[in-house]
C-alpha cells in the first residue's frame, strides 16, 4: 500500500475526534428559547416595562458585540446568539424598576470589557452578564438595590386606580430576611406554606427573570434533556447551599429552612444558566461537583456573614478563575502501558 492510498484511507487530525451535529448557534438559540417563559411571566408580575428593559438589554449587547468586533478587526458573529443570551441574562438579574439606560451601560461592560477585551467568545475568564451586573451594583448601588416592585396582583386596585401609579417599590425576601429575620419575612409575605407556593411560582419581588423557580427548573430540565448542560453544577450548588443554610442558618436567617434559601433570590437562575457556562466552568464531572460546591459555600457565606443579602452573583465570579485549575487537578488519567512493557 503506497503513501497516497494510506492517506486516502486514514484522515488524521487533531482532537476532538467525536463530534455531534450541534453548533454554537443552535445551543445559544435553544438557551434563549428556554428563557422565554420567565420573561413572559415577568410581564404579568411586574408589568410591560420588564419586556422593554429586556429588549434594550438584548439590543445593546448585540450592538456592543458588532461594534467590539469591528473595532478589534474580528469577524462579526452576532448571528451565533451568544450576545442575545448575555443580553437576556443581564436583563434577568436587574431589578424591574431600573431606568432603561442602565442595561445599556451593563451591556458595554459585559460584551466589550468582560468578553472581547479578553479575547472574545471562548476566552473570557468571567461570566459576562455577571460582570455587567457587578459593575452596575458598584456604580449605581441605590438603583440596583432599591428598584424592586410589588407584584401587580398584590396592588390594591381601589387604592391605585386613577392615581397614575403603575407599581410600588418594596423589598425582596432576602433583604427582609437580612434585616428583619424570618419573623419579618413571614409577616411581610404570609405563612411559610404560602411563601413556598408564591416563591416557587414567581409571585415575589426580585429581579426580572429570577423569581419563578418553576419556569427556571423546567428550562434547565429541557437543556439537560438536550445534553447542553449536565446536572453536576446545578445540583451541587443547590444541595450545598440548602445544606449549609440548614446547618448554619440559625433562628434569624431562614430558621435553617433549606427550601426557602433555594427558591428565593437568584440561586436557581445562577445555578442553571450562569454557573454552567461552557467557557467559565470546568468540563470534568468531578471538577464540576467541586466547582458547584464552592459556589454554594460562597453564596451562603455572603448571605449569612456579608453585608449584601444575595450572594450567587459574586460566588460564581469568584469561582470562575478557578475553573482551569479544577480542570487540571481532575484531569482523567490517560492509559499507558507500564514502563518496560514495550521492551
What's the pLDDT score for residue 181? 73
Could you give the 3-state DSSP secondary structure of residue 169?
strand
Domain for residue 319, yes or no? yes
Domain boundary among 98, 124, 146: 146
Q: What is the DSSP letter of 145?
A: H
What's the pLDDT score for residue 10? 52
Q: What is the pTM of this model?
A: 0.84
What's the pLDDT score for residue 335? 60
Whether 319 and 186 map to the same domain: the answer is yes
Whether 139 and 243 map to the same domain: the answer is no
Domain for residue 332, yes or no? no
- Find out whether 229 and 242 touch, Cβ atoms under 8 Å: no
Domain for residue 16, yes or no? no
Whether 192 and 323 map to the same domain: the answer is yes
Whether 193 and 307 map to the same domain: the answer is yes
Domain for residue 308, yes or no? yes
Whether 185 and 311 map to the same domain: the answer is yes
Whether 323 and 184 map to the same domain: the answer is yes
- Alpha-carbon distance values, 200 to 11, 160, 203, 217, 302 (Å): 53, 27, 8, 10, 23
Domain for residue 318, yes or no? yes
Domain for residue 341, yes or no? no
Whether 132 and 195 map to the same domain: the answer is no
Structural domain boundaries enclosing 236: 180-204+229-327
Whether 140 and 184 map to the same domain: the answer is no
How many structural domains are present in the chain? 2
Q: What is the DSSP letter of 279?
A: T
Whether 107 and 51 map to the same domain: the answer is yes
Residues 152-161: contacts with CB under 8 Å, at least 24 apart: 152/44, 152/45, 152/46, 152/47, 153/45, 153/203, 154/203
Whether 194 and 305 map to the same domain: the answer is yes
Whether 136 and 269 map to the same domain: the answer is no
Whether 190 and 319 map to the same domain: the answer is yes
- Find out whether 324 and 314 touch, Cβ atoms under 8 Å: no
Split the chain (343 residues) into runs of 10 and give each run's mean pLDDT.
Answer: 52 51 84 94 91 96 94 89 94 93 96 90 90 94 85 50 43 73 75 84 87 94 94 96 86 71 90 93 93 95 84 94 90 65 54
Amino acid at each position: 500500500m503506497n503513501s497516497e492510498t494510506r492517506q486516502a484511507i486514514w484522515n488524521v487530525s487533531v482532537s476532538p475526534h467525536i463530534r455531534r451535529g450541534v453548533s454554537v448557534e443552535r445551543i445559544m438559540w435553544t438557551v434563549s428559547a428556554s428563557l422565554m417563559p420567565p420573561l413572559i411571566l415577568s410581564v404579568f408580575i411586574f408589568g410591560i416595562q420588564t419586556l422593554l428593559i429586556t429588549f434594550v438589554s438584548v439590543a445593546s449587547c448585540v450592538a456592543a458585540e458588532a461594534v467590539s468586533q469591528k473595532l478589534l478587526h474580528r469577524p462579526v458573529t452576532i448571528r451565533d446568539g451568544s450576545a442575545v443570551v448575555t443580553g437576556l441574562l443581564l436583563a434577568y438579574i436587574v431589578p424591574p424598576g431600573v431606568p432603561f439606560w442602565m442595561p445599556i451601560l451593563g451591556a458595554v461592560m459585559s460584551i466589550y470589557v468582560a468578553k472581547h477585551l479578553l479575547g472574545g467568545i471562548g476566552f473570557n475568564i468571567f461570566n459576562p452578564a455577571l460582570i455587567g451586573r457587578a459593575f452596575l451594583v458598584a456604580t449605581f448601588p441605590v438603583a440596583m438595590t432599591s428598584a424592586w416592585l410589588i407584584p401587580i396582583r398584590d396592588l390594591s386596585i381601589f387604592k391605585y386606580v386613577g392615581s397614575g401609579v403603575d407599581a410600588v417599590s418594596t423589598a425582596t425576601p432576602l433583604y427582609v430576611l437580612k434585616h428583619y429575620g424570618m419573623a419579618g419575612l413571614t409577616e411581610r409575605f404570609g405563612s411559610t406554606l404560602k411563601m413556598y407556593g408564591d416563591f416557587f411560582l414567581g409571585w415575589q419581588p426580585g429581579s426580572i427573570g429570577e423569581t419563578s423557580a418553576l419556569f427556571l427548573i423546567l428550562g434547565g430540565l429541557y437543556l439537560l434533556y438536550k445534553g447542553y448542560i449536565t446536572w453536576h453544577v446545578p445540583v451541587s450548588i443547590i444541595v450545598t447551599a440548602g445544606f449549609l443554610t440548614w446547618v448554619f442558618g440559625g433562628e434569624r436567617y431562614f430558621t435553617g429552612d433549606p427550601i426557602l434559601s433555594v427558591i428565593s433570590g437568584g440561586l436557581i437562575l445562577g445555578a442553571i444558566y450562569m454557573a454552567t457556562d461552557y467557557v467559565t466552568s470546568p468540563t470534568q464531572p468531578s471538577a464540576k461537583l467541586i466547582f458547584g460546591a464552592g459556589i454554594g459555600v460562597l453564596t451562603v457565606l455572603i448571605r449569612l456573614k456579608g453585608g449584601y443579602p444575595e450572594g450567587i452573583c459574586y460566588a460564581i465570579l469568584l469561582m470562575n478563575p478557578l475553573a482551569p485549575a479544577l480542570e487540571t487537578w481532575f484531569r482523567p488519567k490517560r492509559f499507558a502501558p507500564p514502563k518496560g512493557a514495550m521492551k
